[in-house]
Amino acid sequence: MTRTRATLLLGGMFVLGLACGVLGTAAFTLHRLHEGGFSHERMERFVVRRLTRRLDLDDTQRKTLEEVVHKTRLRLEEVHDEIAPRIDAILDDAYRETLPSLNPEQQKKLEAIRTEARERLHRHRGLGKNR
């Protein structure tokens, strides 16, 4: 009985540790996302830091990389700004096509989901822009 109890206790502690690890990681990830976890500047720093370390760059090379990464981000933002309205239009068309097949309750839920997604997208698009 004592051995069984010890095994169950050890197994229970393992499961609780696993659950705490999963929940802690999820909480940390959500916190980072909601507290400005993603920004274009942060992504630039990440790319520069990672390539500097992996390529063993010297200070001059790192400075060149920083300039290239920054210029590239700005160019990508321009392309995104050009394409974003087209993407929005495609999503709006999909919404309008889906709506008639739903009952009124489902239509309300879809509208709420759409509103949440637009707010999230608006916040994401606004992060990191100095324009």
Res 34: pLDDT: 62
Half-sphere exposure of 104 (CA within 13 A, CB side): 0
Predicted pLDDT at 125 = 63
| pLDDT for the residue 43 | 86
Percentage of the chain modeled with pLDDT above 70: 87
Low-confidence ranges of the chain (pLDDT < 50): 127-131
Domain boundaries, the chain: 1-35, 36-126
What is the reported pTM? 0.53
3-state helix, strand, coil split of the chain in percent (to 5) is: 90, 0, 10
Strand locations in the chain (E): none
